[in-house]
Structure 1
Amino acid sequence: MRTSKEFEINEKGVTAEGFKTLNRKCLSSMYLWNVIAMAVLLLSVFLIYRFINMPWIDMDLLFTITVAALVLLAAYFVIGPMVFFARYRYRMTDDRIDILRGIFIIRHTVIPIERVHQVEVSRGPINNMFGLANVNITTAGGMAIIEYLEFPVAEEISDRLNDIVVNILKERE
């Protein structure tokens, strides 16, 4: 579905506008997370049906609705990561960070670098298994996350942001 110019990527994984894309390893991380979430959900549904007696509810209708919801959720768990991967973009310049993300609704987050208060690199257990990390950027107005980056890329972005912020502060003195 990458027919428009905004989704065309060169051999370095960069769009014409300078946006970078994610490494394909992020798909494995997202799918593993979705498998775990689906297993917990299925176990919860099983336990509810097994141990909770609700005589005032039509159990056949409830079962049909539950199965339909689980099928829709399973489809989302399979298709969602592919769409997220295809649409996720980030770009860092000397004055701002842009993050494009979303599955149904594409959000464009712009963070002025001079507003950055704190930068943190975090690695959850699943992302860590795949060598991935997130860069959490805190500003006075809130927080933004550049997700599913390889460790060295996340550290490089963190260091570069720190250097830019330090230079901005030195220029103000």
Structure 2
Amino acid sequence: MELTNLEKKLPEKIKIVWRISYGITGLILLLFAIGLAITFAVTKVSLWFSTIGFALVLVYFIFIYAFIIPFRWKRWSYQIRHDEIEIQHGIIFRSRVLIPMIRIQHIETSQGPLLRRQNLVELSITTAAGAKVIEAVEATESDELREHILELVKVAKEDV
């Protein structure tokens, strides 16, 4: 089943946030590889093992920055309809979530330091079954979007 992209995509600035967060993970891996290289040098173990470690870190950076981030952004979309919210994401394992307006209990916005720096907000939609997240929305439109969804929820609950 091939899913087509929905009406709204995440802002392009989310790629910067992903690059920084994956970069932090990559730097931790690089520090670990450096630690192993020093350990191997002190214990006189073959430096080929260190070379393999550095090569794996390099492959990690190339794979993440060349493939994962662009495809992750391309595959992330959502749409808000009068009766439901649909969220699609995933590269290999695609996920499609339909959240009926009548099931929404509350909506939260959160903003970590990386999102704040890019002026983005994470929107969390909570139902009795759990929370689903729209990873990034422009901060300027987040309150408007939240109010719009809450208005649609009120209309849906009045119809029941």
Please list, as runs of the form range in 1=range in 2, the aligned pairs for 1:19-30 lying within 5 A after superposition: 19-30=7-18
Equivalent pairs, count = 157
Please list, as runs of the form range in 1=range in 2, the aligned pairs for 1:120-139 lying within 5 A after superposition: 120-139=108-127
For 1:37 and 1:158, the matched residues in 2 are separated by: 32
CA offsets 1:81-114 (integer angstroms, 9 cap, x no match): 1111112111010111111111222211111111
For 2:34 and 2:3, the matched residues in 1 are separated by: 47
| Structure 1 residues 157 and 69, CA gap change in structure 2 (3 angstroms) | same
1:62 CA displacement = 4.0
For 1:89 and 1:146, the matched residues in 2 are separated by: 9
Aligned partner of 1:160 in structure 2 is 148
Which structure 2 residue ranges, 5 or more long, are not aligned? none
| Structure 1 residues 92 and 107, CA gap change in structure 2 (3 angstroms) | same
Farther-moved stretch of structure 1 (67-76 vs 150-159): 67-76
Are the aligned partners of 2:72 and 2:91 in contact in 1 as well (CA < 8 Å)? Answer: yes
1:33 CA displacement = 1.7
Aligned partner of 1:76 in structure 2 is 63
Q: Aligned partner of 1:89: which letter?
A: S
Secondary structure of residue in 2 paired with 1:73: helix
Farther-moved stretch of structure 1 (40-49 vs 127-136): 40-49
1:33 equivalent in alignment to 2:24: no
Q: TM-score by structure 1 length?
A: 0.76
CA offsets 1:39-98 (integer angstroms, 9 cap, x no match): 122123323443589x7xx75564354234323321232021111111211101011111
| Structure 1 residues 109 and 72, CA gap change in structure 2 (3 angstroms) | farther
| Structure 1 residues 165 and 52, CA gap change in structure 2 (3 angstroms) | farther
For 2:82 and 2:129, the matched residues in 1 are separated by: 20
Secondary structure of residue in 2 paired with 1:133: strand
Are the aligned partners of 2:17 and 2:115 in contact in 1 as well (CA < 8 Å)? Answer: yes
Are the aligned partners of 2:120 and 2:137 in contact in 1 as well (CA < 8 Å)? Answer: yes
For 1:59 and 1:138, the matched residues in 2 are separated by: 53
Which structure 1 residue ranges, 5 or more long, are not aligned? 8-17
1:115 CA displacement = 0.9
| Structure 1 residues 95 and 77, CA gap change in structure 2 (3 angstroms) | same
Aligned partner of 1:11 in structure 2 is none
For 1:51 and 1:147, the matched residues in 2 are separated by: 40
Q: What root-mean-square deviation, in Å, do the aligned CA atoms of Structure 1 and Structure 2 show?
A: 2.7
Q: Which structure has the higher relative contact order (CA within 8 Å, separation 6+)?
A: 2
Please list, as runs of the form range in 1=range in 2, the aligned pairs for 1:43-122 lying within 5 A after superposition: 43-50=31-38, 60=47, 62-79=49-66, 80-122=68-110
| Structure 1 residues 110 and 52, CA gap change in structure 2 (3 angstroms) | farther
